[in-house]
Amino acid sequence: MDNISALSGPRGEFRINLQAYFDRVSYRGATEPTLETLAALVAAHVRRIPFENLDPLTGVPVVDLSAAALTAKLVTRARGGYCYEHNNLMFEVLDELGFAPQRLAARVVWMTPEGLDGPPRPQTHQALAVTIPGSDQRYLVDVGFGGQTPTAPIPLVPDAVQQTSHEPFRLREHGAEYVLETMIGQRWRPLYVLAMQPRPLIDMQVGSWYVSTYPESNFVVGLSAALVTDDARWNLRGRNLAVHAGGGTERVRFSDAAQVCAALSERFGIDLTGLGDIEATVAAVLDT
């Protein structure tokens, strides 16, 4: 863990380049720290920076969550990332704009057989609690939950339904924590159990190191990518692409790794340079 600890230096070593970030997500709106600005930034981010796990898949641990490292990868190099990268980049942006973001940890129950009824799962997801200056109201912001990423801030108020450009979301009390739910069809489904105690960056670094190196981690043994458009969600798992739009789903099954890599580059906008023989790496996990 010494390498992880060495990365947790004092804040202020690197100030994020807001204009470079705005260019990356094609944002030209207001910058005052208001709810309207927050909602617009979330919408822009999820439409431009894809969710992807190509670093863990190619054996590169994701440990450096500094503003400099995240800017270099997600902004300058036109890559994507997973929750720890997306939400720490958003943390830096919101902090620089004058919002009051806090890091939160969550236990993912989405797509698990037991859901909320199973044994406790590890806290391997990061989200943000964001306070608007001059207001006591806090919002859940999560721009890194892959195929079900909320496309708008969610009020941190129990049972308040937030309609987004895609599905409705809500937070429900779950003991001393909250569970985030989304409506699929006519049924509320749990995504993750959110602890409300703010966490320091070092906790996120440890979580990211774990999920990007643990031999059985989904991010190590399988390929995932996701992106939101104005009216659809594009979700890639291995060779299978699902495009969810208008209450229906279009499914595409790619025949080989070359087609998958073309989709990563052309559909998801991911720069695949510098990843070695990425086609061979993808070929090895097409059916996982």
Q: 45, 55, 64, 142: which is the annotated catalytic residue?
A: 142
List C-alpha distances in Å: 129 to 198, 217, 268, 279. Answer: 8, 26, 27, 38
Q: Which one from 45, 55, 86, 125 is the annotated catalytic residue?
A: 125
Which one of 45, 64, 83, 86 is the catalytic residue? 83
83 is catalytic: yes
Residues belonging to the active site: 83, 125, 142
